[in-house]
Amino acid sequence: MLTKINSFFGSLGKTFRDCMGELSRIRKLMEEFFYWGIIAPFTGKRGIGRENFARQLTFMGNESLFIVFLVSTSIGAVLALQAAYQLKQFGALLYTGALVSVSMARELGPVVTAIVIAGRVGAAITAELGTMKVQEEVDALTTMGIPPISFLIVPRMLAIIVMLPVLTCLSFAVGIFGGFLVGSLCLGIDANLYMKASFDALVAKDILTGLAKSFVFAALIGVIATHTGLSVKGGADGVGKATTQSVVASIISVIVADGFCTAIFFYVF
């Protein structure tokens, strides 16, 4: 019995120590990111690598457009249908547009875009960095006197922090468009009335809330994806595991952070 208790506390202690170690490595990564991403460019020590940054912006933004459009239009359309199903019982079908636009701005736009980007971009970042790590490319950078955080992490983190809010705005717009298509073509709501209801219901706070959330999600996905990528050990097996871990951890973090953010905006602002 005593052995079992000892072993339980032993494994608990080990898990705690591992978690602390992981947190300390994430803190170090963040410190280095702030140094190379914010301080170093302003002090003239080292730029952010404009070429690399532009490449990442294209990859994260341009190449994600289609999937974000497709998913957001579908979500907007489905939301309109589900809302109409309930609202028509109260004769309030016209409010479908309002419900879709507010939901897309405050909740679904940021969350859905973040989940799509976690799956598409987060996974790609982890897999790429992990492969570079196991193929000694990260060591090669260090040996050349090029700080890997500056060369690899800064452009990716900055690109995701810029691109996720942009994609969130687009997702919000096409989500409303998806709802509009269903509302005007399937539910028989007058197109002008639908759009008026959609925009009348929106206030600046709704859009700002969504944008603030998307910044938080971008930072979370960026940190998780880059940290997991740089922590890869072993070969292809390690890269595969890290990529799965990165996507799962990013999606869970986005959903949990969404809960916190919604609560903060609801009670504080």
Q: Does 143 bind another protein (CB under 8 A)?
A: yes
| Residue 139 φ then ψ, to 5° | -65, -40
CB of 35 to another protein, least distance (A): 11
What is the contact mask toward another protein in residues 192 to 231, using x (rule: CB under 8 A)?
----------------------------------------
Number of residues binding to another protein, judged by CB under 8 A: 14
> For another protein, which is the closer residue by CB, 1 or 144?
144
Please, which residue, 7 or 142, has the CB nearer to another protein? 142
259 sits near another protein (criterion: CB under 8 A): no
CB nearer to another protein: give 55 or 241: 55
- Kindly state whether residue 145 participates in binding another protein, applying the rule CB under 8 A: yes
Contact characters 96-135, another protein, x per CB under 8 A:
--------------------------------x---x--x
Interface contacts to another protein, rule CB under 8 A: 128, 132, 135-137, 139-140, 142-147, 151
